[in-house]
Amino acid sequence: MIAHHAFAGNPIISDKRGNLSIADLSEAESAGSLRVLPLLEGKPLISSVVLPQGGQIWRLAWQNFGVCHNALLSSQQAVNTFLAEQQNLDEEEKRISIDFSHGILSHDRLVYLGDRDGVTFCALDVSPYPIFSGTADKIAQDAKWLQGLSKAWELPSSDARVGFVDLRLLMTGTDWSDKPTLEELSIAGHARAMLDWHTQSRFCGRCGNTTVLKEAGRRRQCVNELCKKKLYPRLDPVVIMLVIDKERDRVVLGRQSRFVPRMWSCLAGFIEPGESLEEAVRRETREEVGIEVGEILYHSSQPWPVGPSSMSCQLMVGFFAFATTFDIRVDKKELEEAKWHHREQVKKALVFNEYKNQQQASALKVHQACSGEERRRGSSIEARVDAGELAPMFVPGPYAIAHHLISTWATNGPEGLLSKV
């Protein structure tokens, strides 16, 4: 049985998304059935509460259209006030007023996400655009205006706190057995991916003119009457594979230089144009570790809207790949290190109580972010054996498809994989 992946299982994607118009969104607002999720620099607005039995829980802080309009006006005033107070800006920077491009908020800025139980859900980018490099850095260093912006939204209850929270922190802070919260995370990932794509697609790649939202944000179109190029949301497919040695009961795991100490994961790489998924698995394995693979088994796929900032969303496509050669030759441009790991080593790396500790620590940071508390600097997961000593290795947490590829093999062995995919 395949685990429910983070960012998958979106409950509000509907079949009618391609037929919606701005007029439909306006009609939904008039009927009181429009809900808007604000995002600031890719961070969704969420509410967090402390549970009576202990722990925290978060939910997306949906807003109505009128609250969004008022909050946007307040945020623009807060940013401009902040700029005016800066004494170290030169005369040119003092004249810069961050343009939110709203004026009066209109429905053509909303990006449709889906429907559920008669309610229409949309996302709204409340980031200050256009970004000016020097001034934006100064704004980002001072959280005063951001704190004011968080207070402009409606609270779902008196016990709740709201704030814009990083999507990766929400991911690591979500209990992977909590389906309702995983569904919230999938909606947040969808919203961020769509808004990131809109930000990256404001100009036509064919003629250079500006583009505008169409079909309630499901696509964009060039304003040039001689061009009218249609743009659709971008998706970047990636193959991720666990390379298996059947005879010796071991797998290849690699380390990138950006990984925290002792973390190992599956091999992965982007699919080239004109290449099949299976061809990409074989090529990437050969390029990264010099190993040839034969049989390839598909496991599952996972949307991944928390990758590089230049990509609005990746699609991780997971495979088991069975090696036919076994000498590892690491491409140092791709990996820092790669080696074979036997099953017992990998089982020790899958210390679930430590992943739970990481999840609970991240959940606390989520609540602190919503409460305006200073976030304490924290380290990544420190996997430990029962004796309290550091384990020699660990793998990504259950929010990542790599974890499920590795744990499926460690639990079932190569012979049991076919019945688990």
* pLDDT at residue 59, rounded to an integer: 95
> Do 159 and 247 have their domain in common?
no
Question: Is residue 224 in some structural domain?
Answer: no
**Domain interval for residue 397:** 236-351+391-420
3-state secondary structure of 225: coil
Q: How many structural domains are present in the chain?
A: 2
* Per-residue model confidence as pLDDT tens digits over 107-139: 888 999 999 999 999 999 988 654 444 445 554
Is the distance from CB of 359 to CB of 366 less than 8 angstroms?
no
Question: Is residue 212 in some structural domain?
Answer: no
Residues 28 and 120: their CA atoms lie apart, in Å, by 7
Residue 340: closest CA among 237, 416, 247: 247
Dihedral sign from CA coordinates of 268, 274, 277, 281: negative
Name the average pLDDT for the chain: 84
Is the distance from CB of 380 to CB of 263 less than 8 angstroms?
yes
Residue found under tokens 């036509």: 204
* Per-residue model confidence as pLDDT tens digits over 263-285: 999 999 999 999 999 999 999 99
> Do 63 and 184 have their domain in common?
yes
Burial label, 410 (beta-carbon count in 10 A; 0-12, 13-18, 19+)? buried
Question: Is residue 369 in some structural domain?
Answer: no
> Do 188 and 277 have their domain in common?
no
Question: Is residue 362 in some structural domain?
Answer: no
* Per-residue model confidence as pLDDT tens digits over 29-57: 999 999 999 998 899 999 998 888 878 89
Residue found under tokens 């309630």: 216
Query: Which residue pairs from 365-368 have beta carbons closer than 8 angstroms and sit at least 24 positions apart in sequence?
Result: 365/169, 365/173, 366/46, 366/48, 366/56, 366/58, 366/165, 366/169, 366/170, 366/173, 367/48, 367/50, 367/56, 367/58, 367/161
> Do 190 and 126 have their domain in common?
yes
> Do 192 and 244 have their domain in common?
no
Question: Is residue 58 in some structural domain?
Answer: yes
> Do 189 and 271 have their domain in common?
no
Other beta carbons less than 10 A from residue 297's beta carbon: 17
* pLDDT at residue 154, rounded to an integer: 73
What is the token pair recorded at 342?
């036997």
> Do 290 and 178 have their domain in common?
no
Q: Give every residue of the chain whose pLDDT is below 50, as ranges.
A: 1-2, 94-103, 130-135, 139, 141-143, 374-387, 421
> Do 135 and 263 have their domain in common?
no
Please provide residue 229's backbone torsions phi and psi, each rounded to the nearest 5 degrees. Answer: -60, 135
* Per-residue model confidence as pLDDT tens digits over 289-311: 999 999 999 999 999 999 888 89
Is the distance from CB of 383 to CB of 390 less than 8 angstroms?
yes
- Domain with residue 339: its CATH number is 3.90.79.10
